[in-house]
Each structure stands twice: as structure tokens, then as C-alpha cells.
Amino acid sequence: MTCCPASSTVKSAIDTKVDAKGHGGPESGLAQWVHQIDDQHQSIDLLVPTIHCGGCIKRIESGYSKLEGITKARVNLSTKRLSLEWQPDKISAGQVIDVVSNLGFDARPFDKSQSGEKDSDKIGKELLRALAVAGFAAANVMLLSVSVWAGAQGMTRELFQWLSALIALPAVIYAGRPFFRSAINALSHVRLNMDVPISLAVILASAMSLYETFNHGAETYFDAAITLLFFLLAGRYLDHMMREKARSAVSQLLSLNSTGATVIVEDGEHRFVSVSDLVPGMIIHVAAGERVPVDGQVVSGVSDVDRSLVTGESLPEKLQAGMKLEAGVMNLTGALELRVTAVGNNTFLGEVIKLMETAEQGKARYMRIADRAAQIYAPVVHVLAALTFVGWLWWTGGDWHASTFAAIAVLIITCPCALGLAVPAVQIVASGILFRRGVLVKDGAALERMSNIDTVVFDKTGTLTSGELMMESTATIDDESAALAMALSASSLHPLSKALHKTLKSRGSRPAKIDKLTETPGFGVEADWQGKTVKLGEISWCGGQALQHQADTNSIVALSVDNTVSAIFPFKDSLRTGAKQTVSQLISQGINVVILSGDREPAVADIADKLAVKGFQWGMTPHGKVKFIENQIAAGKKVLMVGDGMNDAPSLAAATASMAPSTASDIGRTAADMVFTRPDLYAVIYALDIAQHSTNHVLQNFALAIAYNLVAVPLAITGFASPLFAAIAMSSSSIIVTSNALRLHWMVKPPKTPEETSGQMELSKQCEVN
């Protein structure tokens, strides 16, 4: 297998590492990038910065699937990573790496710190600069062309033509580079893409215009060439901007991985080592405020831990000897000693990262409407232009000049400006409408995917509920108990203590004077008050063993004086504003609503009952949520996931489309396609409504583009459309498509909130009665 020039990046990166390590030869360098999975399998991760759509993914994975010995070839669009596994006895590492280069993609060893972001930023800046140059040149050449169109003759016309050439040709060379590079790359690997006819049209129009200028011709088309580039670059940049709003959450999950851990050796000495040096069976020390680096079992110590990564619940859980702990969770209050049970990719956090990558790969394989259109567009355009050229040669008896002009007119008139603007123009307008209604669209393609949603999956805590703990009642609390609770809760960082302190403060309570305040990790705080011991915390620790039968004791704080409970402060998480009405409207539209939560059964059942949701599951892990969604999608369902926690990130990525509130974790917001900033849940209704309208407008734009081609192409083929007419027609089609996208502003009326809808229904009933 011969290595093409595009593979030089991989080779140079390997050789650089060889030189730095002092090894000799490329084989030893290549071995340093290859991982030995077992005796029969090897793997490598490559960064492929030039992939940008589902078509790229399909081409790469299909290319590898044809090779014997390849056991895995998976592309992650967000991180631009190609993960490969193979059997070394059937195919060599060098042959495996050459495949992606021979397919026309640049590649290099994957660096987690880059993940393709720098390359994407470079592409965006290049497109913006090219757009600016093309816009400046188009405006000036058009001004010069006005004089020619108005009838300028002789030396005046030639002067304006030469000035147009001096402005347009450098601009075409600079602004057309994104299309020229892509076209050359495609042709060098014997395939076609949309950039090939674009490049041909621009180059031929510019070359023929220069030929006409040298030969004192009456018509030149510099304005057509540069205007064509301007419209195409506008669509390309808008499309790039929408794609780059969707960032991978995998890199943020990777940041939860600890770099080291404190190991307790046999003589009791504490030694800090790299996480890569940890093995199952070691004993490690995890101080308060540290993230747990590995999966383990508590050997000694008691502490409150934040397991929201696992369960999605904000309330800390008390851990003590014998209980298990997962990598990535936060140790809050006390020191723990853990026996390591799993490390690296075998930990819970490692499994979550794998789930995220797999889910993102599945979403990236979604073939957008524009990508599907592009698959058949390029071949058709080339065939039409070639047939036009050959037909005119035969008809005119070999007049290459007229034949070339007719072929150029076909290429220009069929240039995909309207197709290129059809999707991004609508997405930009729809994103602006949703932004004004409190919804940020991160992935424009999600508007397409969301238009056919038939199942909505909600997380409970922080999504259907507000995520803020509220005391159920303060009326029965006497002033003395309130003062003691105020004083004790002021020094605790536990979420329940914070909520209690906030509630009592808003009530106007003043703290009592206490002494010798101490905190017992996992249980609560205690102090001396007037010669008595007062405690605030867990019921059983405060001496209220008889009260433990009360439901949901994890959401109850007890106050005791000399080990006698004097007050109980129950907390609950209230429903998010509009949750009941939103769910009701979804159900009325025939959409299946499901609640998936990591919380306990009583809490989940209570919320489901309040919302009249029949389908709900409790105690769900991130893997369980992803499995549920994958099963639904496999059954032909279109699933919208709405969640907020770190544990929801894999399921947000796995769903057909996803939304998260602005109060969600950073990882949750990153994994979601849309983020809503409004405090209520009406954003779900708005997003589904706008998604439906925007998809309709995209289809309308494609219909307009097709209608334009059906009328204009025959005119160009038969010679009734000059390249100048073709450029004007092409520009007009782009303006029409953009104008149709702008119609969203006045055609899409703000959907009534569920509360307004239910109010109208109630009013109608009253009118019927009257």
C-alpha cells in the first residue's frame, strides 16, 4: 500500500518522537504510538482535523471495513478522533495508518489536549478572512461593472475591465482556497464533491474573462466569479459557525480524572504517585475536598460525598467502612482510606467517558438534509456541464469558444449557493428566535432531528424539579429551636444546612450563642449551649432513632438538646415552574413522556404522580439511561432527552436531540444540543415548535433551489443564458432562499405557554356552560 502525501503528518509526528527519544528508525517510533491490547490485537488513536460531517465519517469507516484484520474503526466527530483496532498478524500498523491518508484525510497521533479545537478555530478564521476579501472585491468589481453594463465603449470599457481583473483575480485566488484545496484533494483520490464544480466554475469564469480582456472582448465575468465565491463563503461560514457551537463533553469528563493519588504503604507512610501507577489492592488516602481517583471500597473513615456524577442527586451521601466509591465523585467532609478495586478505563468514570464517546459517534452519523443532497448534486452537475460542452462542439462545428461559455454558464447557474444557504440561513434565523425566548441552540442540526420527536425523556432532580431544597413548613418551629438551628447551620457546608440557614434567615431568626462547635463528617454539627449539648444533623445521630421510620430521612434535618430531638426540619424539592403544564401539553400532542432518575423510588413516584406520568424508572445509572434511550431509538423512536446532571451527559449525547437548563453542570450543558436560560420548562414546547417550522422552511428552500435549477439550467444549456445572466440568476436564487428563511420571523408566532392554553380551554368551557 503506497503512502500518499497527506500521510506525511503522521510520519513526521512519529519521526519527531523517535528523534526526541533517541530511538532509530520509523518502526520503533511507530511502536510508541501503538497500544498492545492483548496478544492478538493492537490499537492507535489518530486526530483527523479535516472531518466535518456524517459523510466523512461514513467514508472513513467504510474504507476500513473492507480491510481484513480491522476489528474496529470508529470516528468521533466532536473530538476529531479516529480509534482503530486491528490484528497485527493480518495487517501491519503502517498499512492501517496509510488507509485514512489514502482516503484524502490529514491525520496525526491524537493529543487529548487538542481534540481538534485548534484546527476548527483555524478553519473558522480562514473562512471569515476569505469572506471579507470576497465581499470587498465583489462590491468594488460590481461598481466597475455598472459602467460597462451602462454602455461604456472603447478604452473606457477596457480600463474598467482591467481594473476589475486587478481586483478580482487576487481575490479569487485568496478567497477560493477553501474550495480549491478541497477539490484538489477529492480529485487526487479519484472522487467528487460539491467543491469540484464550484472550483471549475470560478476558475473557468475568471480564465475566460481574462482571455476576453486580453482580446478586447465585449463581455467579462469577473463580477460573476467573485460574487459566486462571496455567497458560497457566506453559506460555508454560517454552516461552520453552527457546527462549532456543538462542543464535546468528553474533554470535560476527562478533566475529572485525577493525575495522582496518595498511597499508604506498609509502614504507614503516605506517598504521592501517578494514577497510572495504581493497581487494584493498593490502599489510598482521599482527603476532604478531593476527587476520588479510582473505584474503591472504603476501608476506614466516615464522610459525606457528592455522588451526583453517579445518581444525579445534589444531596450528599454518607459513606463509611465497607461501602463502595466511584472514580470522579467528590469527597466533601472527612478523610477516607480506600482499597483500589479498578483503575484507568475500567473505573466508573472511564465507563461514563466510553458511553459519551459512543453516544457522540452515533449522533455524528446522522446524515443531514444538506449532506444527503450533496451526495447526488456533484455528479449531476459535472455530467450536465460535460454534455453541454460536447453538445455545443457538435452543434457549432467545433467552436470551442461558444462551447466553453455555455459550459461555464451551466456551472455557474448550477453552483450550490442556494443549496449552501438553504440550511444555515434557516438555522441562524431559528436560533435567533429561540434565543429571544430563552433557548440557546448549540447544534443547528438538532433542529432537524428535533422536528420528528415522539418521545421525551426527563431527568427528575434539577430538570422537572427546581433543584433547590425548600423547607416544607416553618410555622411550627419555636424561636428557641430556630435560633439554635440558625447558629449550628451557619458553620456547615452541607446543602441541607445551607438551605436551613437561608430559610431561617429569610424568616428573621437570629442565631443563639454557642461554644465549642465541632462537625462530625457524615453526621452533623454539635456545640455547647447553656451547659447542654445541642446537635443538628442526621436523625439517628441526634437521638431520634424512633423517628427513622419517616419517609425520605435523607431530606430531614433534626435538632436535639441533650440527645432529645426538639425539632425536625423536613425539606423537599419543588416542581420547576410550568413542569406540570408542559408535560400535560406534550402528552396531549401524542408524545410519550418518561422520567428516568437515579433517585429513590418514593421520590420518583411522587413526582410522576404529580405530573400524571405513567412511565418512570428509579435508581438509574448513566449506563442504564443510555441503554433505555438506545433501545427506544432501535425501536424506531425519536427521543428528546432533557437533563441537567453530569450523570445525564451520556444520555444527552445518545438521544436523537437533547436539552439542558442553564443551571446544569458544565458537562451537561456541553453535551446538550440546546440550553435554555428561562427558569420554567416551557422552553421544551418552544423548541419543538420552532424545530418543526424550521425544518419545513429548509424543505421549502430546497424546493425553491430545485425549481430555480429546473428553469435556469435548460436556458444555460441551450445558450439563452450567458455567464453574466447565470451569475445574476445564481445570486437571485440565493437572495430568494435567504428571504424565505427570514419569513420565519413573522410566520412563526410565539406558541402560547401551557398555562395560557389551559386558561383558554377553561374559558371556553365556561362560555359553553353560559
CB 391 within 8 A of CB 407: no
Instruction: State the Cα torsion 184-190-194-196 to the nearest 10°.
Output: 40
Count of CB atoms situated within 10 Å of the CB of 320: 14
With CA atoms as reference, report the closest residue to 288 among 348, 338, 330. Answer: 330
Query: In which region does residue 531 sit, left (phi positive, over 0), alpha (psi from -120 to 50) or beta (all else)?
Result: left
CB 615 within 8 A of CB 623: no
Contacts of 295 (CB under 8 A, 6+ apart): 324, 325, 326, 327, 340, 341, 342, 343, 346, 347, 348
Cell numbers 461552520: residue: 240
Cα angle vertex 718, ends 716, 719, to 5°? 65
Rg of the Cα atoms in the chain = 33
**Rounded Cα distance, 717 and 706, in Å:** 16
| SS3 of residue 590 by DSSP | coil
Backbone angles phi, psi at 520, to 5 degrees: -105, 110
Question: Residue 326 carries which DSSP code?
Answer: -
With CA atoms as reference, report the closest residue to 371 among 687, 702, 127. Answer: 702
Task: Determine which one of 306, 459, 573, 599 is catalytic.
Answer: 459
Count of CB atoms situated within 10 Å of the CB of 356: 31
Q: What is the DSSP string of 451-463?
A: TT--EEEE-IIII
**Rounded Cα distance, 441 and 446, in Å:** 8
Q: Is 511 exposed, middle or buried (0-12, 13-18, 19+ CB in 10 A)?
A: middle
User: How far, CA to CA in Å, does 210 sit from each of 164, 204, 382?
Assistant: 10, 10, 23
Q: Which three cell numbers, joined as nine digits, stand for 156?
A: 473606457
With CA atoms as reference, report the closest residue to 667 among 258, 308, 293. Answer: 308
Backbone angles phi, psi at 549, to 5 degrees: -70, -15
- 459 an active-site residue? yes
**Rounded Cα distance, 294 and 283, in Å:** 11
* Run of H or E residues at 608: helix 601-611
* Run of H or E residues at 336: strand 336-342
**Rounded Cα distance, 135 and 290, in Å:** 54
Count of CB atoms situated within 10 Å of the CB of 607: 21
In Å, how far from its chain's centre is CA 229?
A: 29
Q: Which three cell numbers, joined as nine digits, stand for 144?
A: 466597475
Q: Is 700 exposed, middle or buried (0-12, 13-18, 19+ CB in 10 A)?
A: middle
CB 429 within 8 A of CB 745: yes
CB 630 within 8 A of CB 598: no
With CA atoms as reference, report the closest residue to 76 among 307, 303, 248, 297. Answer: 248
Residue 286 forms beta bridges with which residues?
A: 336
With CA atoms as reference, report the closest residue to 229 among 198, 194, 200, 187. Answer: 198
**Rounded Cα distance, 499 and 512, in Å:** 18
Q: Which three cell numbers, joined as nine digits, stand for 377?
A: 448534486
Q: Is 198 exposed, middle or buried (0-12, 13-18, 19+ CB in 10 A)?
A: buried
Which residues are identified as catalytic?
459
